[in-house]
Structure 1
Amino acid sequence: MAEASGVSRATVSFVLNDDPRQTISGATRERVLRAARDLGYVPHGIARALREGSSRIVVLNVDWGIEGNFSRSYVRGLDEELAQHDHVLLVRHGHSAPEATQKILDTIAPRAVFRLGEIYMRGHDGPIEEDRTDGFAANAALQIGYLAERGHLRIAMAMPDHEFPLTEARLAFAREAARRLGLPPLEHLVVPRPRETGATAVATFLAAHPDVTALAAFDDDIALRGLTALHDLGVRVPEDMAVMGFDETEYGSLTTPALTTVHIDAEVLGRLAARGALGIDAQDLAPTPGRIVVRASA
């Protein structure tokens, strides 16, 4: 291949390995890649893994319940950036036994392993306590701040009927946002499945907290459960109760009233994670702050 492209073997290696530490001109790179195509070169994955100490696979573990725009855009950015550098993304959904996970890691020797739940809580690579415009805490504050700006002083967090670190962090961030805004402490209620059970839970909560005028939902799924429960109870939205989602999904735009929510684009975060794992400079990338999608429910 070096002979066919008229360059050194080292240059061929740099191009084929997409080595970020080497600067290869576009013309030289194209000559090497053209020679590789003409010669039918196919990299030997096992041999490459033995030489490099790991495979060119990156594993992303996605917890159940993370299904909004954040996860979709993060996976898209991570996958596309890895592909540009000749790496492959393997996404695993749900909770797995540690033994099963270790078997997979031992077999494929991945270049890096990420857990989306941890990234989702932070939204950036710094400590979760940092007050940044691109972090998960800042996005949670957008939701509470929007409702407060519209005169809602008594706000309740509508939560799912399961507990894990993500739900705990989400509630903590919302409560901190309310505290910083000088609002009364957030109430919180669980909106469970099925539909009838959810309506009963919401009715019980409203009877005990008649001063609450807005529900800030854990995510769009919980917001839609809340909308359905309020409809079944004859509570008008947004006249009697505002409802706001979080981490936009397409379903919120299809309801009546359409769901006001927080849109989070994490594609850049995925690209940053990919470059960090590969040791590639990422100074040209900057995370995108969340934004409010204003519709009719709040």
Structure 2
Amino acid sequence: MREDLYEFYGYRVACTVPAEAEAVVGRLFGAPLRDGDASRAAWTPQTVHLSVELTDTDSDPVPPPYFPEHWDTSDVVVLDTASSRAEVTPARWTVRVTLARSDLGNPVVWGRWLVEKAFLVLTLRSGRHYGLHAGALSVDGRAALVTADSGVGKSTFTAWGLFKGADFAGEDAMMRHIDDPEGRFWGYPRCAYLDPALIKGRPELADAPAAPVPAREKSRVEWPARYESRLLPAVRPRALLVLTREHETVRPLDIDAVLGLCRDDFAAGKADPAVLERVEGDLRELLSGMSLLQFGLSTDLDSNFARLAAVLHG
């Protein structure tokens, strides 16, 4: 097995994979980093070592808990789908995936349930990283973080922006590396989790790989090549939007209100008060340079995008 270097959520990832699973890694990460790219995340001292092993099993995959028991304290965090599993060792920055051959064609297993979740665990367990339940868009070079309670429409809002010409940096989780001096948030732009009806209604997604997420009314869809040039690994946001359906206006928020709304996100896994203070201080500093807005959604998706563009360029 050979080892290649990738970027994922802003981390350098040294990946070892058998030939039979190379297609999985390609769909997850895209092309390996070139020699000149390897230093672009020099501010991140950690290289995550990800290994993939294949196994045979007769078990069908089942949805794992969102977080396994003791995920925030265990030396090794196990993500188990009954058929495949990932063992995450935060102190060593390692992820070991044991993938069933029967799951090679199931991106929900190796994507959503294992690798994407493993990197979220690494981020939340780290004292120098944190995450936000958010997506991000950039309209003509000006970016916004977009957050909302589950079910409000954050995924649809960010995906519609991509359809309308915006750049897209993710729709579910954005990671912050405190030592990144550019104040960026890093996402995973290669896929999105969308209402199957929305996917079906977009002709350009007709041939895009899509898989339903069990127990969720969403499908994991991988963006086709036509969007490649508008998929961003990271953004430096000038605004943070908190989506709501309680009204259809745009209203200012203060920093303390936004910190309160995001606290469950950035405080997850931060048991050490000194670490939490450092994380909150970093986020507060970044928010002080942004427009902080409660953004009321209408049922007209085009109108929502037009108002986003106006907010960013007004």
TM-score (normalised: structure 2): 0.24
Q: Which has the higher strand share?
A: 2
Where relative contact order (Cα < 8 A, 6+ residues apart) is larger, the structure is: 1
Question: How does the TM-score come out when normalised to structure 1?
Answer: 0.25
Q: Tell me which structure has the larger Cα radius of gyration.
A: 1
